[in-house]
Amino acid sequence: MRIRLSLLLLLAPLYCLFAQTPITLEDIWQNGTFSTKGVPGFNFQNDGVHYTRLAGATIEQYDLRTGEKSGLIFDASTVKTDAKDWNGTFDGYTFSADESRILLTTATEPIYRWSSKSQFFVFDQKSRQLTRLFDGAKQRYAHFSPDGSKVAFVVENDLYYKDLASGKVTRVTTDGKTNAIINGASDWVYEEEFELVRAFEWSPDGARLAFLRFDETEVPEMTMEMYRGGMYPEEVTFKYPKVGEKNAVVTAWIYELASARKTAVDLPRDPGLDDYLPRIAWTPPGARSGLCLTWMNRHQNHLKLLLADPATGQTSLLLDETNKYYLDLHDVNFLSDGSGFIWQSEKSGYNHLYRYDMSGKEVAALTKGNWEVTGLYGVDEKKGQVFFQAAAKNPMQRELYSVKLNGKGMKKLTREKGMHTAQFSSTFDYFVNTYSTINTPPQYAVCDRSGKVLRQLEQNQPVRELQTDRGVAPVEFFDFKTSENVLLNGFMIKPQGPQYAGQKLPVLMFVYGGPGSQQVLDQWKGNNYWWFQMLAQKGYVVACVDNRGTGGRGEEFKKMTYLNLGQLETRDQIEAAKYMGTLPFVDPERVGIFGWSYGGYMSSLSLLKGKDVFKTGIAVAPVTNWKWYDSIYTERYMRTEKENPQGYADNSPTNFADQLEGNYLLIHGLADDNVHFQHTAEMTNKLIAANKQFDTMIYPNRNHGIGGGNAKIHLYTLMTRFLDEKLKGTGEEKVVKP
């Protein structure tokens, strides 16, 4: 009896250590138990020390330095107006440049990933008058003129502007038509791949509007069916250019308000060759001013910055850059004194910042070295400083820096290792630093321009306590060399507890792997962190490896997958699985892989090409053949199927369906406007033709993110059960159940 009692006393601490409250799918995806607190978006004011935020039906003002409320900018309850459709609520707002007027948005509807339409109202702070912007259909991208006297906007594919003093609305274009002509807004593929939605810009003096016109008449259409309980499905049809198909013909125009004259920008285009105009921006007044257009050829390996004369539309060359692979798109940051601009380029083999004058001559390399600039925050011209984010110390981490406009005096603003992002005030005197690690939820702090922390905003202490309460395992980084002597970075979560000691455990590998992406970052992973931790508590080893083609390690590492997407990446994931199989706590016969979008493409291809290594695969919204994806993204990395037939044939999952030997779960949303359900339908056809058994799930009315209602918890319940049955369950005797 004494021996048994002593043994129980000895085991009691271990029991307490591993008897924490379990992590559940309901807590992750339904109850919001593990949700971290953010800080409200900082709408900084011109003085650089105050910001505003939306609070119910009011706009409140706060002092960034103290966090104290310092004013009430707008209160809907005090506004007296007879404006049609104003109900006293709004969901967003923007100020005019001088902060004298506010644009309020109501009844906002999303369109695609970035686009939306709303009803807009204008509030004049001096007169306290609220007026409706437009009496017709909902508007898109309402935008103040520089002096705040006018607002330009898009309605049903045409560009308008309103003079706020007179109330007069002028229609700039008249030929807009759904699925044919778009003025002042972008088409689907520009929005998705170039992140361009508002395709018009006011000139600095407010005398002109520059805009892009998309003629998508010849672009093939895509139709999705929505099931909302009616007698027949509702069809949603939109233009979507797939690989090698016709893109919209994009032209640039300059409209002069005083004369109502429209001038076409004369672009030096090669007849019969497609190209892109992904950015327009007015230069500041100076010796060489005008409208700057970013031009790229269809292969996206040649880029020009062209300056257009507003009066004639004639263009001249400002910058010309080519690349043997492809070029990433960046914004041009013009200096307000008209002396030049800041430009990002990989011409050294790593992404760095350069200063150019307005003749197109490089003045200074602001950054240099075998490391990457990963974000440009802006320029404080008064003090001659540029602020940016970089992976200067470690490709898996991010730091914040400043450097002088002559390229000297680079200074690190952050201290802790991990992920740092910033939002700077309008004067760059202060910034809000968001910091996290892969094991630490986000923390927010106000810092001065030197990086000194002035006050903490949010540290998410309750979530950190939940980590202890739920007994999470530490996420560990590792690296290994492949058989080709390539060093790859990864992270891993190992099950904790004596019940797993000496066991051979199943492995789930998580993958994305697309060009320039990174998953192996020292950064909080949100809800996926908790799902991975839940799987670890159930006895899974969870791992992730960044393959060749991913970011943070220079141009050659990123672009070596050019023309052969999937080849090296899949090889690396297979090698990573083999490496995992050599670890003493891993069962090499139970290795699975899961991915979404590009990751679904990778998990599918890895399961098929690595059939002797991977036993189970889950693919959510996967690309299954690149010929069915959009023109801009795919051709950037693969060119067209006609130009590169072998690259397409060698690395499309549909071509390897007959190789399936493991367990395969294929998931897609029927309303996915990005990776169309066509990919899963065609993959299904190939699997059936090869008489291969697999599992599948479709989500009607759900887009690429498969959200809304109970879709997320349904999806993760499905995937968890599939893994328990097909991966963990294939070797039940090897694992002691928790």
> DSSP strand E in 463-579: where?
475-481, 487-493, 505-511, 541-546
664 C-beta neighbours (distance < 10 Å), count = 26
Residue matched to tokens 């990395």: 637
- Residue-wise DSSP of 701-728: T--TT--STTHHHHHHHHHHHHHHHHTG
On whether the CB atoms of residues 277 and 305 are closer than 8 A, the answer is: no
Q: Identify the helix (H) or strand (E) that includes residue 556.
A: helix 555-559
Taking 3-state DSSP, the helix, strand and coil percentages for the chain, each rounded to the nearest 5, stand at 20, 35, 45
Residues 6+ apart with CB under 8 A from 727: 506, 508, 540, 590, 592, 615, 616, 663
Q: Select from 442, 189, 385, 211 the least CA-distant residue to 298.
A: 189
Is the separation of the CB atoms in 638 and 648 below 8 Å? Answer: yes
Residue of 27, 328, 630, 672 with catalytic role: 672
Q: Which residues, 6 or more positions from 203, have their beta carbon under 8 angstroms from its beta carbon?
A: 146, 209, 210, 282, 291, 310
CB 505 within 8 A of CB 586: yes
CA torsion through residues 178, 180, 183, 185, sign: positive
Catalytic residue among 115, 145, 345, 597: 597
CB 316 within 8 A of CB 306: yes
- Which residue, chain included where needed, has tokens 């000691």? 501
Q: b or e along 483-498 (b: 16 or more beta carbons within 10 Å of the residue's beta carbon)?
A: eeebebbbbbbbbbbe
Active-site residue, 672 included: yes
Contacts of 20 (CB under 8 A, 6+ apart): 469, 470, 471
Q: Are 642 and 244 in contact (CB under 8 A)?
A: yes
Q: Evaluate whether 438 touches 403 at the Cβ level (below 8 Å).
A: no
Token digits of residue 252: 């640039």
Whether 273 and 298 have beta carbons less than 8 Å apart is answered as yes
Most distant CA pair in the chain, distance: 102
| Residue of 50, 352, 679, 704 with catalytic role | 704
Residue 393 DSSP code: S
The continuous run of DSSP H or E covering 472 comes out as none
Q: Which two tokens stand for residue 522?
A: 């020292």
- Tell me how far apart the alpha carbons of residues 550 and 548 are, in angstroms, rounded to a whole number: 6
Residue 465 CB partners (closer than 8 Å, separation 6+): none
> Which of 581, 535, 518, 447 shows the shortest CA–CA distance to 722?
535
Does 673 participate in catalysis according to the annotation? Answer: no
Tokens of 724: 């328990």
Q: Which two tokens stand for residue 210?
A: 């520059």
Known catalytic membership, residue 420: no
Catalytic residues: 597, 672, 704
